[in-house]
Amino acid sequence: MAAGSFVTNSFDRKYFSGDSRKEWQMDMIYRIKTGPLIANGNHQISEGIRRVGQFHIRTLLCVLFCFFSLALVEGEAGQTSTSSQVRAESLLQQGKPSEAVSLLLQLHESQPQNSQICLQLGIAYTQLEQLEKAADFYRKALRLNPRLMAARKNLATVLWFLNQKEKSVEEFLGILKMAPSDPVPHLYLGSWEYEHQQFARAKAHFEKAGDLAYKNPEALPMVLESYLAVKDMTVPQSLMKQLEKARNPDPELAIRLGTLFSHYGVYDQAIKTFEKILPSSSVKPEVFLLLGEAYDKQGMPEKAYNAFTKAIEIDPKLEEGYSALSSFASDHQNKEFALKILNQGLQKIPGSSKLLLQQGVLWALEGDLLQAQKSFLRAYQADPRWVLPILALGISHLQESKSAEAASTFQQAATIAPDDYRPEYFYALALTRAGKQDLPSHREEIISALRKSIVLNPSRPEPHVLLGRTYLAANQVGAAVVELEKALELDPRNPTALYQLGIAYRKQGKSAEGERLLRAFEETKAKLKEEEDQERKALLQILKTVK
């Protein structure tokens, strides 16, 4: 189905109503009752797909169970149905899979080569949510009749929900070779590409899935994000027109869609989406927080402030409300007011580790390290399993040039979060600041920590930069070049990597390349005003994490 036809015809406003899921289920059951989905209109299986940005964006797939008519199954299997098989199918249609299984197993024992019976057993076990057994019988049906399309589609679908998605994708791709316009494989293949962030491919599949994707409230966020990610606004714009016409929008769906608009920087549409559900008596304070962020990004600070304060008014003990309003004030260079809001929040929510951490970061950015460390310690005591307060405490020690104390703190952080790359990186940085890289034994300790940090998160340039510097200080120029080149691959404007790699190239006799990088370093440093210290950057990053 082409996107154009969707835009003009296919998105009825009823899919934004509060009963959208039920309506969609009934619509699809009737529309494809002789089609490819598995078996019974009474059950829905759903699965969360992705997280987008800092918000949980759940995009769910529905398996709607519908029945093939007896004549259809007979036609595919080339077999004659007995009265017992007709009775079994009737039981399945009545939602009595346990009774159907007993009857079908007896039939299967007497007719083990009957692919129709195997297919019906697969459908029955699917209704019972015994998906492994269902898959076994679909496979048996296919061994007996490889062209039994219903069994192949159902097998592919249950494999998906058994989390055997690669096998499921293989089956769906095979189905498309025989039926290239079948919407069901395209729905699942679009979901697969979406999960792997191949948005252009996902969009192409969703277009071919047609109503099965576009009129499915559970798949709609996947569809919307796929269009937004490739900067195709046809579906988002049509979606907004339908939302504006809706009398009773589904708040959950609207929140998910509005969040996606915000994530992709389409703040004007995010604002319209969130504002549409404000009249609802059940609107949650979180909606005002999302709306406040969108207002702020759209350059509407007064409205943003009002939205944040409204969230706090609705729920005075909402931790996120104080955090968001404080961050808003801090971003607008009003640190004093930001600290005041956090104090108000801590009066309502004493011992909030999140608010205490945020308070400490603001004190540290203001240069009051003593107050900052008190807040970090209180945040850690409130939640000893959370690594950020200890990381922030160690960073504050680095700001004080207390490298040994910082190193000890980062070691403690590593025990709290052994899978987090940051404690290892900052531990190596603390040892380097203490001049330990000049001692062979400590140098190996630094290298080991940095290598572990890189294994834990290969996508961050900082550990590669510091490892390259460490190798260069030890005159291991070749190893230094490898790490620094990798750092620039991850962050082409990293000034330290540009400078260090320029020096390394000079040592290798690559004077022209070295001079080019050193010139790039001077240009980048001037553009970025790169005198900001690493500790301040790290604290700002922690502040973003807390938001």
Per-residue pLDDT reduced to its tens digit, 356-394:
999 999 999 898 999 999 999 999 999 999 999 999 999
| pLDDT tens-digit series, residues 284-308 | 999 999 999 999 999 999 999 999 9
Report yes or no on 333 lying in a domain: no
Same structural domain, 197 and 255: no
Rounded Cα gap, residues 27 and 236, in angstroms: 23
Q: How many domains does the chain have?
A: 3
Residue ending a domain, choose from 219, 245, 271: 245
Query: What angle is formed at CA 496 by the lines to CA 490 and CA 498, rounded to 5 degrees?
Result: 70
Same structural domain, 173 and 241: yes
Q: Percent of the chain scored above 90 by pLDDT? A: 70
Same structural domain, 269 and 159: no
Mean pLDDT over 143-162 rounds to 94
Mean pLDDT over 147-172 rounds to 95
Same structural domain, 200 and 291: no
3 state DSSP class of 422: helix
Same structural domain, 161 and 273: no
**Is the pLDDT assigned to residue 545 strictly greater than 90?**
no
State how far the alpha carbon of 231 is from the alpha carbons of 53, 59, 125, 171, 234, in Å. 17, 20, 43, 31, 9
Residue 87 in tokens: 């009775």
Query: Residue 533 — pLDDT band, cuts 50, 70, 90?
Result: low
Report yes or no on 302 lying in a domain: yes
Same structural domain, 189 and 299: no
Same structural domain, 168 and 261: no
Rounded Cα gap, residues 498 and 11, in angstroms: 52
Report yes or no on 407 lying in a domain: no
| CATH assignment at residue 288 | 1.25.40.10
Report yes or no on 401 lying in a domain: no
Same structural domain, 237 and 276: no
Same structural domain, 216 and 171: yes
Report yes or no on 75 lying in a domain: yes
The per-residue pLDDT for 232 is 96
Residue ending a domain, choose from 263, 283, 314: 314
Q: Which domain holds residue 303?
A: 249-314
Same structural domain, 306 and 206: no
Rounded Cα gap, residues 258 and 276, in angstroms: 10
Query: Residue 329 — pLDDT band, cuts 50, 70, 90?
Result: very high
Same structural domain, 60 and 78: yes
Q: How many helices, marked H, and strands, marked E, lie in the chain?
A: 31, 0
> Cα 262 from chain centroid?
14
Report yes or no on 76 lying in a domain: yes
3 state DSSP class of 280: coil
Rounded Cα gap, residues 198 and 230, in angstroms: 10
Same structural domain, 493 and 431: yes
Residue ending a domain, choose from 285, 314, 343: 314
CB 156 within 8 A of CB 185: yes
Mean pLDDT over 231-240 rounds to 92
Report yes or no on 209 lying in a domain: yes
CB 66 within 8 A of CB 37: yes
Query: Residue 527 — pLDDT band, cuts 50, 70, 90?
Result: low
State how far the alpha carbon of 363 is from the alpha carbons of 108, 339, 373, 481, in Å. 74, 8, 9, 39
Report yes or no on 361 lying in a domain: no
Q: Report which residue type is found at 522.
A: E
Those residues with Cβ within 8 angstroms of residue 26's Cβ, 6 or more apart along the chain or in another chain: 41
The per-residue pLDDT for 250 is 86
